């Protein structure tokens, strides 16, 4: 991927913005995803990843955990999406499989019961569904809610748009027309400055620097 690829440029700009705000963003991405693992995930999920999603995985296979990694001193860590960690391909496939199992367990009529509780924000072009198997988990918060890449949008939507779904999220909404657009919106947002936890002011190496941009999650 060339540095001027839309996702490469948007990802680099976004990590720079987080860094300027005081977060260790450049230390968090994992190495690029293995192409064979990426291909296998698409086969298993029967989802063709949009070019921008494949491009993001070509830059990083998710992130290192946004919490201290075992005993001993560690550098500060942070989340790379609002309140959410960027999932590896392997972890995303596990979560997608959990939703697939839910569909299999409840069947169409049972899933329809879940769908009745779902709303859509305004005219956002996203399906009013609890979970659609054309949605790929991109990032997850601590409560099991997801930013997802939508490969089965409602009429008027864009394949690859970034949406919100999960057990605590009853309102479906579109956050970006694609991965690059979402990253650009994050870059243009008002990211709060990093603050070390009050309970551990003398040990910044143990800090987890969580942040949020609530209009983009």
Averaged over 110-135, what is the pLDDT? 95
DSSP 67: S
Question: Residue 1 falls within a domain, yes or no?
Answer: no
CATH of the domain at 133: 3.40.1580.10
The model's pLDDT over 185-203, given as tens digits with 9 standing for 90+, comes to: 999 999 999 987 665 545 5
Averaged over 123-137, what is the pLDDT? 97
Residue 14 neighbours by CB distance under 10 Å = 23
Question: Residue 94 falls within a domain, yes or no?
Answer: yes
Question: Residue 102 falls within a domain, yes or no?
Answer: yes
What lies within 8 Å, CB to CB, of 199 at 6+ separation is: none
Question: Residue 160 falls within a domain, yes or no?
Answer: yes
Give the model's confidence band at 25: pLDDT under 50 very low, under 70 low, under 90 confident, else very high: very high
Residue 97 neighbours by CB distance under 10 Å = 12
CA distances from 199 to 46, 74, 202 (A): 46, 17, 9
Name the one residue in this structure whose structure tokens are 């293995």: 34
CB of 179 closer than 8 Å to CB of 162: yes
Helices (H), 50-125: 51-59, 89-115
CB of 77 closer than 8 Å to CB of 209: yes
Residue 4 neighbours by CB distance under 10 Å = 7
Tokens of 107: 């069947």
Q: How far apart are the C-alpha atoms of 52 and 152, rounded to whole Å?
A: 15
Question: Residue 130 falls within a domain, yes or no?
Answer: yes
User: Does the predicted model carry a pTM greater than 0.85?
Assistant: yes
Report the pLDDT value the prediction gives residue 74, as an integer from 0 to 100. Answer: 67
**Least-confidence region, from 17-21, 177-181, 195-199:** 195-199
Identify the bridge partners of residue 174 per DSSP, sorted by sequence position.
163
Tell me how many domains the chain contains: 1
Residue 46 neighbours by CB distance under 10 Å = 10
Mean residue pLDDT across the chain: 91
Q: Which domain holds residue 56?
A: 6-216
Q: Give the three-class secondary structure for 106.
A: helix
């Amino acid at each position: 991927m060339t540095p001027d690829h839309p996702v490469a440029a948007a990802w680099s700009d976004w990590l720079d913005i987080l860094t300027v705000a005081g977060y260790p963003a450049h230390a968090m991405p994992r190495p690029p995803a293995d192409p064979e693992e990426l291909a296998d995930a698409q086969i298993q999920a029967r989802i063709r990843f949009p070019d921008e999603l494949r491009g993001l995985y070509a830059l990083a296979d998710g992130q290192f955990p946004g919490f201290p990694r075992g005993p001993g001193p560690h550098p500060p860590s942070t989340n790379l999406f609002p309140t959410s960690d960027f999932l590896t391909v392997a972890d995303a496939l596990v979560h997608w499989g959990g939703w697939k199992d839910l569909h299999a367990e409840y069947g169409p009529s049972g899933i329809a019961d879940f769908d009745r509780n779902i709303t859509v924000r305004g005219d956002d072009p996203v399906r009013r569904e609890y979970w659609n198997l054309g949605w790929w988990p991109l990032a997850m918060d601590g409560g099991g809610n997801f930013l997802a890449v939508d490969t089965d949008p409602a009429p008027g939507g864009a394949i690859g748009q970034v949406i919100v779904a999960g057990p605590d999220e009853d309102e479906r909404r579109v956050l970006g027309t694609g991965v690059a657009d979402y990253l650009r919106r994050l870059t243009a947002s008002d990211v709060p400055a990093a603050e070390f936890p009050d309970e551990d002011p003398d040990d910044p190496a143990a800090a987890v620097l969580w942040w949020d941009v609530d209009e983009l999650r």
